[in-house]
Chain A
Amino acid sequence: MTVYSQPGTPGSLVTFKPRYENWINGGWVKPVKGQYFEDISPVDGKPFAEVARGTAEDIELALDAAHRAAPAWGKTTATERAAVLNRIADVIDANLELLAVAETWDNGKPIREPLNADLPLASDHFRYFAAAIRSQDGDHAELDNDTVSYQFHEPLGVVGQIIPWNFPILMAVWKLAPALAAGNAIVMKPAEQTPVSIMVLIELIGDILPPGVLNIVNGFGLEAGKPLASSPRIRKIAFTGETTTGRLILQYASANIIPATVELGGKSANIFFSDVAQEQDSFYDKAQEGFVLFAFNQGEVCTAPSRALLQKPIYESFLATAVERTRKAIQGNPLDTATQVGAQASNDQLEKILSYIDIGKQEGARLALGGERVDLGGDLSGGYYVQPTIFEGNNKMRIFQEEIFGPVLAVTSFSDYEDAISIANDNLYGLGAGVWSRNGNVAYRAGRDIHAGRVWINNYHHYPAGAAFGGYKSSGIGRENNKLALGHYQQTKNLLVSYSEKPLGFF
């Protein structure tokens, strides 16, 4: 076990700069209005760096740079772009621990996660899209002996991307890798809760990309996000966040007649059929862990399995064991590799989670575990920590319907297959779901019958770059991961060519 030193203290891998400017045209650029805001670490609730408070003027500078860079970048070969993406991946791998410490300090997540998931997935994501763009072919159709239709993939040009705070680096990479692979120039706005770790990454990879291909402007949604999302100078906007802002983004996109992809979260059902408990074996142990995964990343995951559906015959026994397993989750210093549950990303997130715990109690849900804020004492006393919390109730309760984005699980029972699917689908969202069964036929059918874009069967929370990710229903539009994502960053050019000398004969 390792406890990493706090940034800026002796022995730490990371010393943050006192101030982070915007990254525009391959260099650090002060915000036009000269304003900054403090980035607060959720680990201890204290500010640790100042960050540029970008405005419309800074977005314009970034768009200028992106428009200058886009034509040449879009004409590079797939081979060249793939080489760039692979170099970025190598730099991430070579700086994995440093980036992990920065990510934990910015977001509050336990460091075993960025070390073993966020960052290895990020570098792999660049490698996946390096490979995907090299292996992507256009297509053609021979319409008759003398007429051929050719289809080419072209970059869109300059695109805007607005990313969330739950996986600051990985969610940036999910959007960057396909956009860069496809040959686009980018203006990105990180989340104001976690604006720094992505800048630490840029310090490492900034000079690998030609100036202006990637520009990052920090700031608040109203002041920097809106000017980006509503700009007539972008050819596409990508957003991950919540439904109201998602609708605003779509509204702005409609005004400019540009495509938008939006990922707006979920309330994923994790369904455990009775046969899971047929044996008390390794598979049962795996299923129990699958239940506890609601607390992964403090529940701040769009696909958090935050509704557990247990079949009636195993309800009591499965739940009792799973509650005990959850109780053993180690909550503590996020920089300690032994820590399993870290800090919530911000104070308002903490407040929101506590407000949901309150409404859960008011609605009559039974508190089986947790339910309180945690004071870790010492240096960490001001941090934003919540106990992993388990409620029992019914699917009509608000804690079953809304994405709390905290370590709060809502558990209910179901009678049979139809009941399970009915409960799972009785929700506004359809991003993720889990199905656990030893019966492959049941698991397959359930996976197909659940209205969600990603259904994990007998596993959960795996995010391989090659598996398409995105929502049904109010969870959004579009797919990330998988080569399908390239399509969201490409225009289709059709050349319809006649190789015949004969006139058409109409005139």
Chain B
Amino acid sequence: MSEPASTATVVGTITVPGEHLPRVELSGTAVSTLRELWDEFGPLMFHQSGGCCDGSSPMCFPAGEFITSDRDVLLGRLDIAPAGAEPRSIEFWISAEQFEYWSHTFLTVDVVPGRGSGFSVEAPRGVRFLIRSRLMDSFA
């Protein structure tokens, strides 16, 4: 099981048109895990899943593996590069229909030990990305 040392959290950029607050962040552990995964797979992306079984998990893929469309919303870009290094920007996507029901919550991507499913790249390491949510300040 891989449990990298924690680093600082990373807050996503604001990408939803017309908005002024970020919507997504990475926990320090998630940043460390993603740096290792980037070294193994190259550039990465997230797509937030819904539905059965492993639904509600953020799925992490090599960038471009999952084809997004106009029916997806870009929630933010997350730069996992250490200070001063070349940017390593990860896009975080969610389907537009799911975003309608999730839009009042701020998402933190965390990592827990687990036996993942789906085709997400972290699963063979015995860890899973997990979403923790809090109400957006503007809705609180």
Interface residues, chain A, CB within 8 Å of chain B? 37, 40, 53, 164-166, 191-193, 220-223, 225-226, 240-248, 251, 263-266, 302, 346-349, 351-352, 355-356, 358-359, 362-363, 396, 398, 401-405, 428-429, 474-475
Contact = CB atoms under 8 A, between A and B. Distances in A.
Interface in B116-130: 116-121, 123-124, 128, 130
A363 B105 CA distance: 9
A242 B132 contact: no
Interface stretch (B2-10, B21-29, B80-88, B93-101): B93-101
Contacts of B57: 242, 348, 352
A507 B62 CA distance: 58
A429 B65 CA distance: 25
Interface in B55-107: 55-57, 59, 61, 65-67, 95, 97-98, 101-102, 105
Contact of A266 (B51, B116, B119, B134): B51
B114 A402 contact: no
Nearest to B66: A248
Interface residues of B, number: 41
Given A244-B48, A402-B50, A474-B97, A251 B66 contact: yes
A348 B130 contact: yes
B76 to A, nearest CB: 17
B115 A475 contact: no
Q: 4 nearest interchain CB pairs?
A: A265-B52, A348-B114, A265-B51, A244-B49
B112 interface: yes
Could you say which of A191, A226, A243, A251 has the most chain B C-beta atoms within 10 Å of its C-beta? A243
**Main SS at interface, chain A:** mixed
A429 B114 contact: no
Nearest to A362: B135
A242 B49 contact: yes
Nearest to B60: A222
Contacts of B112: 347-348, 351
A504 to B, nearest CB: 47
B52 A405 contact: yes
Contacts of B121: 222
B11 interface: no
23 contacts: A37-B124, A53-B124, A166-B52, A192-B117, A222-B119, A222-B123, A240-B53, A241-B51, A241-B55, A243-B51, A247-B66, A263-B52, A264-B52, A265-B55, A346-B115, A347-B115, A348-B113, A348-B128, A348-B130, A351-B130, A355-B131, A402-B50, A428-B50
B47 interface: yes
Contacts of B102: 398
B64 to A, nearest CB: 11
A20 to B, nearest CB: 15
Contact of A359 (B55, B105, B118, B124): B105
B56 A221 contact: no
A263 B53 CA distance: 11
Contacts of A362: 133-135
Contacts of A351: 112, 114, 128, 130
B54 interface: yes
A381 to B, nearest CB: 17
Contacts of B48: 244
A192 B123 contact: yes
B50 A221 contact: no
Nearest to B133: A359
Contacts of B67: 251
Given A242-B54, A243-B50, 8 more contacts: A192-B115, A222-B123, A241-B53, A243-B49, A245-B54, A403-B55, A474-B97, A475-B51
A405 B55 contact: yes
A362 B114 CA distance: 25
Contacts of A475: 51
Nearest to A426: B101
Nearest to A245: B118
Could you say which of B101, B114, B118, B133 has the most chain A C-beta atoms within 10 Å of its C-beta? B118
